[in-house]
Chain A
Amino acid sequence: NAGVTQTPKFRVLKTGQSMTLLCAQDMNHEYMYWYRQDPGMGLRLIHYSVGEGTTAKGEVPDGYNVSRLKKQNFLLGLESAAPSQTSVYFCASSYPTPQTSGRTHEQYFGPGTRLTVT
């Protein structure tokens, strides 16, 4: 049981290049999320998905696109990378949890992808 995995671990891009970050989870979670973390900042939600074929914008969606073609995978795309997108990107997943479920409402995070745009 690998949990949440992310590919690649590191990447350096030149301004204007494109790339796709891959997130995979083997816990059969319905919900998946992409966050970015910048120095001295907390994690900020980029996009999220509540199920296969559905995606929605988070706090900082500009410059990113996502797709969820399979339940276990969530892809984050940068069409034209900018230096402001230099960051560490984390993927997470979770079960649907009703407020009164007594569950912890935790999200399970991957190890991160460190992206540098020069």
Chain B
Amino acid sequence: DQQVKQNSPSLSVQEGRISILNCDYTNSMFDYFLWYKKYPAEGPTFLISISSIKDKNEDGRFTVFLNKSAKHLSLHIVPSQPGDSAVYFCAGRLADRGSTLGRLYFGRGTQLTVWP
């Protein structure tokens, strides 16, 4: 059963507007959440992360919001640009007890298309 869910396979947004990508999770033991961006024929690249003890993290045009009570997080991109068109993956990190290792559990991804 998927522990991280991205229920919208695709999102289309006009350039300059806000893109909001959503993610839900079931495992309350995740200690971090990460967003990755993936272009075709390339590997995923890290975008932004948030600790489970925070509710917001911002980096330039990208902001991630975490609602622990709802087990929900969202990535906001403002303003959206055509170069943002990619697949966005949400991932939850589960730390091995007593270890610095954390496994990532990925959602299925959301294809964002930003049109001019």
Contact = CB atoms under 8 A, between A and B. Distances in A.
A98 B100 contact: yes
Give the size range of B's interface with the partner: 20 to 34
Contacts, number: 67
A116 to B, nearest CB: 15
Interface in B2-37: 2, 4, 6, 9, 31-32, 34, 36
Interface residues of A, number: 26
Interface stretch (A12-20, A44-52, A62-70, A77-85): A44-52
Interface stretch (B41-49, B69-77, B78-86): B41-49
B29 to A, nearest CB: 12
A40 B108 contact: yes
A45 B31 CA distance: 18
A106 B45 CA distance: 9
Interface of B: 2, 4, 6, 9, 31-32, 34, 36, 41-46, 48-49, 89, 91, 93, 95, 99-109
Interface of A: 4, 31, 40-45, 48, 50, 58, 90, 92, 96-99, 104-112
